[in-house]
Amino acid sequence: MKKSIPEDLWKAFFQGDRLACARLITIAENRKERVPELRDALANRLGRAVRIGITGPPGVGKSTLTSLLALGMADAGHKVGIVAVDPSSPFSGGAFMGDRVRMEGLVGDQRIYMRSLASREGHGGLSPSTPDVADVLEGFGMDRILIETVGVGQAELDVLECTDLVVLVLQPSTGDAIQTMKAGIIEAADLIVVNKADLPGKDVVLNSLRFLFGMGLTKKIRPVPPVMTTSAMQNEGLPELVAELEKLASVLLDSGRHADLRRARMEKEIREAISQCLWTAYDGLTGATKCIQEKARELVEKAESPYPFIRESCSRVRVQALDKEASNGHGA
Amino acid sequence: MAEQPIKVVVGKPGLDGHDRGAKVVARALVEAGMEVVYLGLQQTPEAIVAAALEEDADVIGLSILSGAHMPHFRRVKELMDQQGLGDRLLTGGGIIPTKDQETLSGMGVGKLFGPGDDPQMIVAYIREWVKEHPRA
Ligand SMILES: Nc1nc2c(ncn2[C@@H]2O[C@H](COP(=O)(O)OP(=O)(O)O)[C@@H](O)[C@H]2O)c(=O)[nH]1
Ligand SMILES: [Mg+2]
């Protein structure tokens, strides 16, 4: 495969140059076609970092907490990467990213690297490039990666796909929000934080949570997650939160679950890349895109099922055709 | 492939206390399809450049109404050059006399805008500049 990322950029990156890291993240973000090259070069440096999603409704203090968590983890000897995702406007494609306003304490801290990402075609959820950006940060030497989500809609579930642990952040007034939260995220959380404990009303949230878990409304596949309270504003409860997360991280690593999660993600990546690759080859050989367009029009007009066409198309595929293609030099 | 969005870091160095102007401009940039990292009030030049570096921003925009534009622009530009960001645009706004603008321009600072200027002028200027200065 033709290499397109300059050698000296890699060299600077591996020597710990932050601008080189910044530029490789930009490549991960903007140049999807170069991701295989990134993966090739980074693979032997990946595997040890714990990726932690920080999710929860907007305004509960995710950015403020993330910044304090990063400092706490750095003090515990870790190098911390932060990815903060903000929504892209579906109209203009632009994005306003304000998380850094709450992360001033990180300025100039060489143990921490923070990057804002717009959700782009992630449609308000996580940016599709999030895992690749996390790879670059891990390759840069970060062993804790905090991924702050947009906190609404799909992002809550997307984050499960690319992290090892999920922290759900709530605040005293989110008692009702718990009911409207995307199904699954509460059960999926490994840790729940009720932030802004300096404000009145935290018992309401704590009671809703107790009720929820106590009623057995959640699936019993996992233990009930620990619930902690913090005040990011008054810097209270942070050492305890860092300690709890580090405990979860050690269990994850020691139990082999971390490796299982990585393997599952790798399987998915391979499956998706192969389907993409096979589709591209198939489309190139048969002109399927155009053919499907015509067929769909015809089927809709006649009110017919698409499956006879699908079955016929699949039965015509022979793997030899792709072998030949690969030996002609088109393989990756 | 669709063109990648322009990334702009917007900061307010110095001690003056409100950021209405900076936010209006930031909003106009977002509506023009740019990705804007907003840093907030009272940023040091060091913090602004450190953020721009981590974000790999194409553009740094400073909003300065305090009258201390000379030292701030000078220092930010100096840090940008030192840290390998000399190929990015430094622009901004404030109440900046023509004479000062000329001095800054001589140091490699881009065009500067006044409080009365239409934000669309800034949008157009940034777009044009980025188009004329493609990065490797
Ligand atoms: N009272 C109080 N306010 C907080 C606390 N943590 C964060 N905030 C404020 O809540 C607002 C939103 O915080 P931010 O971190 O941006 O929330 P995010 O949208 O979830 O990332 C900001 O004004 C913070 O200063 C806290 O512990 N107590
Ligand atoms: Mg935030």
Would an 8 Å CB–CB cutoff place A289 in contact with chain B? no
**Residue linked to tokens 């999660």:** A261
Name residues contacting ligand 1 (CB within 6 A): A 58-64, 102, 195-196, 198-199, 231-233
CA-to-CA distance for A200 and A119, rounded, in angstroms? 33
Residue in B38, B49, B44 with CA at minimum distance from that of residue B14: B44
3-state secondary structure of A111: coil
Residue B90 is part of a domain; what is its CATH number?
3.40.50.280
pLDDT digits (tens, 9 = 90+) for A279-320: 999 899 889 999 999 999 999 999 999 999 999 988 887 765
Instruction: Work out the angle between the directed axes of helices A35-42 and A130-139 (0-180°, nearest 10).
Output: 30
Token pair of B18, please? 């409100």
Strands B59-64 and A227-229: unpaired
User: At CA B53, angle to CA A35 and CA A83, rounded to 5?
Assistant: 55
If you average pLDDT over every residue of chain A, what do you get? 88
Residues in chain A closer than 8 A to B35 (CB atoms): 88, 94-95, 97, 116, 118
Within 253-272 of A, beta carbons closer than 8 Å to B belong to none
List all residues 6 or more positions away from B19 whose beta carbon is below 8 Å from its beta carbon: B12, B40, B41, B63
Q: What is the pTM of this model?
A: 0.90
B14: pLDDT strictly greater than 80: no
Task: Please give the angle made by the CA atoms of B92, B94 and B98, to the nearest 5 degrees.
Answer: 95
Consecutive H or E run containing A80: strand A80-86
Nearest CA to ligand 1 atom 10: A61
In this prediction, residue A93 carries a pLDDT of 92
Closest-approach residue (CA) in chain B for A85: B37
CB of A60 closer than 8 Å to CB of A171? yes
Nearest chain A Cα distance for residue B63, angstroms: 15
The full length of chain B comes to: 136
Which residues, 6+ apart, have CB-to-CB distance to B17 below 8 Å? B41
CB within 8 Å of A113: residues ≥ 6 apart: A18, A21, A80, A81, A82, A137, A140, A142, B54
Tokens of A290: 């155009």
Q: Which residue's structure tokens are 């030292």?
A: B71
What CA–CA distance (Å, rounded) separates B2 from B32? 15
Residues facing A52 on adjacent strands: A146, A165
Domains with residue ranges and CATH for chain A: 1-45 (no CATH), 46-255 (3.40.50.300), 265-327 (no CATH)
Whether residue B90 has pLDDT greater than 90: yes
**Residue A48 C-alpha to ligand 2 middle, in angstroms?**
26
Contact B77, B107 (CB under 8 A): yes
Whether residue B1 lies inside any domain: the answer is: no
Domain membership of residue B48 (yes or no) is yes
Contact between A113 and B54 under an 8 Å Cβ cutoff? The reply is yes
Of the residues B31, B53, B55, the best mutation for testing chain A's interface (the one with the most A CB atoms within 10 Å of its CB) is B55
List the 77-106 stretch of A: residues with Cβ below 8 A of B: 88-89, 91-98, 100-101, 104
Residue type, B99: K
Q: How far is CA B93 from CA A118, A143, B33, in A?
A: 25, 40, 20
Number of domains comprising chain B: 1
As for the ipTM of the complex, it is 0.94
Domain membership of residue B27 as a residue range:
7-132
Q: From CA A270, how far away is CA A310, in angstroms rounded?
A: 24
Whole-number Å distance, alpha carbon B104 to ligand 1 midpoint, is: 38
CB contact under 8 A, B30 and A96: yes
CA–CA separation, A129 and A132 (whole Å): 5
Distance CA A65, CA A45 (A): 28
Q: Report how far residue A155's alpha carbon sits from residue A148's, in angstroms, rounded to the nearest whole number.
A: 10
Read off the amino acid at residue A313.
S
The alpha-carbon gap from A101 to the nearest alpha carbon of chain B, in Å, equals 5
Do A215 and A226 touch, CB atoms closer than 8 A? Answer: no
Burial class of residue A89 in the structure, from the number of CB atoms within 10 Å of its CB (0-12 exposed, 13-18 middle, 19+ buried): middle
Tokens in use for A190?
């490994």
Quick: pLDDT tens for A91-139: 999 999 999 999 988 988 999 999 999 999 876 578 889 999 999 999 9
- Flag residues of chain A having pLDDT under 70: 1-3, 123-124, 152-156, 175-177, 179-184, 215-222, 319-332
Which residue in chain B is spatially nearest to A98 when comparing CA positions?
Answer: B38
Q: How far is CA A137 from CA A83, A144, A145, B114, in A?
A: 9, 9, 8, 39
Nearest CA in chain B to A4: B136
Percent helix, strand and coil across chain A, each rounded to 5? 55, 15, 30
> Are B89 and B59 contacting, i.e. CB atoms less than 8 angstroms apart?
yes
Residue B42: pLDDT band with limits 50, 70, 90 = confident
Q: What is the mean pLDDT of chain B?
A: 90
Distance, in angstroms, between A123 CA and closest chain B CA?
Answer: 15
Nearest ligand, CA of residue A173?
A: 1
User: Helices B20-31 & B119-132, crossing angle to 10 degrees?
Assistant: 60
B38 within domain boundaries: yes
B61 or B95, which is more confident? B61
Would you mind telling me the total number of residues written for chain A in this entry?
Answer: 332
**pLDDT value of residue B57:** 98
Residue-level pLDDT at A181? 64
Residue whose token pair is 């293609």: A325
Q: At what angle do helices B45-55 and A18-30 cross, to 10 degrees?
A: 40
Helix (H, G, I), strand (E, B) or coil at B7: strand
Cα separation, A144 vs A112, in Å, equals: 10
Contact B28, B1 (CB under 8 A): no
